[in-house]
Amino acid sequence: MVIDAIKAKSTGQRPDIAVAEHNAQLTNTPADCVVKLPGTVNGLRKVGEEVLMTQTAYLLQQTATVNGKQMRITFWAFPRYSCMKLQMKQEEADSKGNWTVVRGTHLTALAEIPPPAEKFIVPAGFQEMRPSEQALKLVGPTVSAEQKQKIQQSSGDENYLRWHK
């Protein structure tokens, strides 16, 4: 991760469960694009198919109750691209069971091109920082001791430090 505002970078690996799910998608893409990891339940199921930008997309859906509200999220996963989820919408149900979109992303273009090499170059002068160091630098020097402690406890440093011994 690179944060331009503070000229910082943070390298490392994603949490184990995220890596396992990603690897499962890349190496053993299920026919329905629903990755099922041993010992986990995500409630995601295939509910349909659509064609977007000339490509078949599977509609994957998950429902849950959040803070007493019924929520539904739908992803458009593209089997041609290792089931990459390129579009989504999150909906909320009212008391009558009618669904309203509350947020989402909409695919507006899809092109198969090699990425520009400069997107992978970390600019000179950026220094490696733990997530907590980045957060503290972003909030500035006026942060209270209590706020500083909260940032350090919830920063993600534990995962970062596993890869920077």
Lowest model confidence (mean pLDDT) among 7-16, 18-27, 33-42: 33-42
pLDDT band at 165 (very low <50, low <70, confident <90, very high): low
Q: Is residue 76 part of a domain?
A: yes
Q: Which domain holds residue 91?
A: 31-106
Global pTM reads: 0.54
pLDDT band at 156 (very low <50, low <70, confident <90, very high): confident
Mark whether 35 and 102 lie in a shared domain: yes
pLDDT band at 133 (very low <50, low <70, confident <90, very high): confident
Neighbour-count burial for 66-91, b at 16+ CB within 10 Å, e otherwise: eeeeebebbbbbbbeeebbbbbbbeb
Q: Kindly report, residue by residue over 16-33, the tens digit of the pLDDT.
A: 777 776 676 666 677 888
The predicted structure's pLDDT at residue 54 = 92
If one counts the domains in the chain, the total is 2
Mark whether 36 and 84 lie in a shared domain: yes
The predicted structure's pLDDT at residue 40 = 54
| Cα–Cα dist 17/73, whole Å | 20
The predicted structure's pLDDT at residue 7 = 72
